[in-house]
Structure 1
Amino acid sequence: MQPTATLRLTRHPDGVATTATPSLGWRVDTDAPGWIQAWAELADGTGAVHRLAGPDAVAVDWPFAPLAPGERRTLTARAASSTGGETGWSAPLEVRAGFLAAGAWEAAFVGLADPDRVAQPALLRHAFELPEAPVEAVLYASAIGAHATSINGARTDDRVLAPGWSAYDKRIQLDSTDVTALLRPGANAIGVALAGAWRTEGYGFFGRPQRVYGEQPSYAAQLWMRFADGTERTVATGPEWLARGDGPITDSSIYAGETVDLRLAVDGWDEPGIATDGWTPVAVEEVALTPEPRLAPPVRVTEELAVVEVITTPSGATVLDFGQNLVGRVRATVDGPAGTVITLRHAEVLEHGEMGMRPLRAAVQTDTFTLAGTGAEVLEPEFTFHGFRYVEVTGWPGELDPAAFTARVLHSDMARTARFASSHPLVNRLHENVVWGMRGNFLSIPTDCPQRDERLGWTGDIQVFSPTAATLHDCDAFLADWLVDLAREQEAHDGVVPMVVPDALRGHARPAAAWGDAATVVPWELYRRYGDREVLADQLPSMRAWADVLLAQAGESRLWEGSMQFGDWLDPDAPADQPGAAKVSRDIVATAYVARSARIVSQAAAVLGDDATAAAYARHADEVAAAFRAAYVTPAGRMMSDAPTAYALAIGFDLVTDPESRDALGARLAERVRATRYRISTGFVGTPLILGALAATGHADAAARLLLQTDCPSWLYPVTLGATTIWERWDSMLPDGSINPGEMTSFNHYALGAVADWLHRSLAGLSLATPGGTRLTIAPTPVAGFDHASSTQETPLGTASSAWRRDGDEVVVEAVVPPNATATVVLPWGGAPVEVGSGAHAFRGTLPAPAAPAGPYSLATPLAAIADDPDAFAVLMATLRGFSEGYAAGFAARTSWTEGSALQDVLFGVPPHTLEELDAALAAV
Structure 2
Amino acid sequence: MSNLAAPTSLRFEHRAAPVLGLGTATPRLSWQVAAADADYAQTAYEVEITTGTAQVYTVQSPEQVLVPWPGDPLTSRESAQVRVRVRGNGDWSDWSRPATVEVGLLGSDDWTARFVSPRDNSHGSPAPLLAGVADLPDGIVKARLYATAHGVYLPELNGERVGDEELAPGWTAYQYRLRYQTYDVTSLVRPGENRLEFLVGNGWYRGRLGFQDQKEVYGNRLAVLAQLEVTTADGQVHTFGSDDTWTSRESAVLADDLYDGQRTDLRRTPGEPTSVDVLDADLGLLVAPDGPPVRITDVLPAVEISASPSGKTLIDFGQNLVGRVRLTVRGGAAGDEVVLRHAEVLEHGELGVRPLRTAKATDSYILAGSDEVTLDSPLTFHGFRYAEVTGVSDLRKEDLEAIVVGSDLPRTGWFDSSHALLNRFHENVVWGMRGNFVDVPTDCPQRDERLGWTGDIQVFSPTASFLFDTAGFLTNWLADLSAEQQKDGSVPFVVPDVLKNSAPATAAWGDAATIVPWVIYERTGDAGLLARQLPSMRAWVDKMADLAGDDLLWSGGFQFGDWLDPTAPPENPFRAKADPDVLATAHLARSAEVVAKAAEVVGDADLAREYADLAARVRQAFAAEYTTEGGRVLSDATTNYALALQWALLPTESQRERAGKRLADLVRTAGFRISTGFVGTPLIADALADSGHPDLAYRLLLQTACPSWLYSVTMGATTVWERYDSMLPDGSINPGQMTSFNHYALGAVADWMHRRVAGLAAGDPGYRTIVVQPLFTSHLTAASAKHITPYGEAAVAWTRSDGEIRLSVTVPVGSRAQVAVPGESEPVEVGHGTHEWTATYAETPALPAEPTVRQLIDHESSWDTFVAAAVETEVVADDGELAARLERYLDLPASQLVDAISRRDFSPAAQALQAKLDALLDN
TM-score range, shorter chain: over 0.9
The 1:881/1:371 distance shift into structure 2, 3 A limit, reads farther
The 1:670/1:188 distance shift into structure 2, 3 A limit, reads same
**Contact 1:304/1:407 (8 A) holds in 2:** yes
Q: Does 1:259 align with 2:263?
A: yes
Q: Does 1:37 align with 2:31?
A: no
* Post-superposition offset of 1:233: 2.1
* Post-superposition offset of 1:877: 5.9
- Residue 472 of structure 2 corresponds to 477
**Contact 1:784/1:850 (8 A) holds in 2:** yes
Q: Distance in 2 between matches of 1:301 and 1:5?
A: 31
**Contact 2:173/2:497 (8 A) holds in 1:** yes
Return the letter of the residue paired with 1:795.
T
Q: Distance in 1 between matches of 2:434 and 2:84?
A: 33
The 1:820/1:720 distance shift into structure 2, 3 A limit, reads same
The 1:867/1:371 distance shift into structure 2, 3 A limit, reads farther
The 1:281/1:692 distance shift into structure 2, 3 A limit, reads same
Provide the alpha-carbon RMSD of the alignment: 2.2
The 1:531/1:406 distance shift into structure 2, 3 A limit, reads same
Q: Does 1:165 align with 2:159?
A: no
Q: Distance in 2 between matches of 1:215 and 1:733?
A: 39
Match of 2:299 among 292, 296, 304: 304
- Residue 347 of structure 1 corresponds to 343
The 1:117/1:607 distance shift into structure 2, 3 A limit, reads closer
Moved more, 234-243 or 33-42: 33-42
- Residue 177 of structure 1 corresponds to 183
- Residue 81 of structure 2 corresponds to 74
Q: Does 1:142 align with 2:148?
A: yes
- Residue 56 of structure 2 corresponds to 49
- Residue 161 of structure 2 corresponds to 155
Task: Please list the CA deviations of residues 768-801 of structure 1 after superposition, one character each: whole Å capped at 9, or x if unmatched.
Answer: 1011111111111111210111110100000001
Q: Distance in 1 between matches of 2:676 and 2:501?
A: 28
Query: Pairwise mapping of residues 882-893 of structure 1 onto structure 2 (< 5 A)?
Result: 883=874
Q: Distance in 1 between matches of 2:875 and 2:630?
A: 41
- Residue 634 of structure 2 corresponds to 640
**Contact 2:670/2:880 (8 A) holds in 1:** no
Q: Distance in 1 between matches of 2:88 and 2:783?
A: 33
Moved more, 257-266 or 86-95: 257-266
**Contact 1:867/1:873 (8 A) holds in 2:** no
**Contact 1:333/1:378 (8 A) holds in 2:** yes
Match of 2:856 among 842, 849, 865: 865
**Contact 1:110/1:219 (8 A) holds in 2:** yes
Q: Distance in 2 between matches of 1:505 and 1:455?
A: 12
Q: Does 1:431 align with 2:420?
A: no
Return the letter of the residue paired with 2:474.
L
**Contact 1:3/1:87 (8 A) holds in 2:** yes
**Contact 2:65/2:791 (8 A) holds in 1:** yes
Identity of aligned residues (%): 46
Q: Does 1:94 align with 2:88?
A: no
Task: Please list the CA deviations of residues 120-175 of structure 1 after superposition, one character each: whole Å capped at 9, or x if unmatched.
Answer: 41111111211215322211111121001111111110000001011122221111
Return the letter of the residue paired with 1:23.
R
* Post-superposition offset of 1:863: 6.8
Return the letter of the residue paired with 2:65.
V
Return the letter of the residue paired with 1:564.
F
Moved more, 156-165 or 631-640: 631-640
**Contact 2:847/2:855 (8 A) holds in 1:** no
Match of 1:844 among 816, 833, 838: 838
- Residue 186 of structure 1 corresponds to 192
Q: Does 1:232 align with 2:217?
A: no
Moved more, 838-847 or 737-746: 838-847
Q: Distance in 2 between matches of 1:166 and 1:910?
A: 65
**Contact 1:650/1:656 (8 A) holds in 2:** yes
Any stretches of 5+ residues in structure 2 without a counterpart?
Answer: none
**Contact 1:446/1:457 (8 A) holds in 2:** yes
* Post-superposition offset of 1:118: 2.9
Match of 2:805 among 807, 811, 823: 811
Any stretches of 5+ residues in structure 1 without a counterpart?
Answer: 267-276
**Contact 1:419/1:792 (8 A) holds in 2:** yes
Q: Secondary structure at the match of 2:140?
A: coil
Return the letter of the residue paired with 1:471.
F
* Post-superposition offset of 1:498: 0.5
Task: Please list the CA deviations of residues 267-293 of structure 1 after superposition, one character each: whole Å capped at 9, or x if unmatched.
Answer: xxxxxxxxxx71101133332353221
Query: Pairwise mapping of residues 192-211 of structure 1 onto structure 2 (< 5 A)?
Result: 192-205=198-211, 208-211=213-216
Q: Distance in 2 between matches of 1:54 and 1:363?
A: 55
Q: Distance in 1 between matches of 2:341 and 2:587?
A: 42
The 1:875/1:698 distance shift into structure 2, 3 A limit, reads closer
Task: Please list the CA deviations of residues 264-318 of structure 1 after superposition, one character each: whole Å capped at 9, or x if unmatched.
Answer: 245xxxxxxxxxx711011333323532212231000111111112222111211
Q: Secondary structure at the match of 2:306?
A: strand
The 1:853/1:236 distance shift into structure 2, 3 A limit, reads farther
Q: Distance in 2 between matches of 1:186 and 1:749?
A: 51
Moved more, 861-870 or 692-701: 861-870
Return the letter of the residue paired with 2:130.
L
- Residue 18 of structure 1 corresponds to 23
**Contact 2:4/2:37 (8 A) holds in 1:** no
Q: Secondary structure at the match of 2:686?
A: helix
- Residue 32 of structure 2 corresponds to 27
**Contact 1:254/1:383 (8 A) holds in 2:** yes
Moved more, 609-618 or 369-378: 369-378
**Contact 1:565/1:586 (8 A) holds in 2:** yes
**Contact 1:243/1:281 (8 A) holds in 2:** yes
**Contact 2:175/2:218 (8 A) holds in 1:** yes
Q: Does 1:408 align with 2:411?
A: no
- Residue 899 of structure 1 corresponds to 890
- Residue 742 of structure 1 corresponds to 736
Return the letter of the residue paired with 1:402.
K
Match of 2:11 among 2, 8, 15: 8
Q: Distance in 2 between matches of 1:885 and 1:647?
A: 29
Task: Please list the CA deviations of residues 34-61 of structure 1 after superposition, one character each: whole Å capped at 9, or x if unmatched.
Answer: 4321211111113221222232001111
* Post-superposition offset of 1:108: 2.2
Q: Distance in 2 between matches of 1:280 and 1:210?
A: 26
Return the letter of the residue paired with 1:322.
F
Return the letter of the residue paired with 1:54.
S
Q: Distance in 2 between matches of 1:739 and 1:493?
A: 42
**Contact 2:875/2:910 (8 A) holds in 1:** no
Q: Distance in 1 between matches of 2:702 and 2:771?
A: 25
Return the letter of the residue paired with 2:416.
A
Q: Secondary structure at the match of 2:902?
A: coil
* Post-superposition offset of 1:109: 1.9
Count of equivalent residues: 907
Q: Distance in 2 between matches of 1:898 and 1:241?
A: 80
Q: Distance in 1 between matches of 2:875 and 2:772?
A: 50
Q: Secondary structure at the match of 2:267?
A: helix
Q: Does 1:586 align with 2:580?
A: yes
Query: Pairwise mapping of residues 521-920 of structure 1 onto structure 2 (< 5 A)?
Result: 521-656=515-650, 658-851=652-845, 862=853, 865-866=856-857, 869=860, 872-873=863-864, 876=867, 880=871, 883=874, 896=887, 899-900=890-891, 902-908=897-903, 912-920=907-915
After TM superposition, the score normalised by the length of structure 2 is: 0.95
Q: Distance in 2 between matches of 1:502 and 1:234?
A: 33
Task: Please list the CA deviations of residues 492-520 of structure 1 after superposition, one character each: whole Å capped at 9, or x if unmatched.
Answer: 44311100001111222321000011011
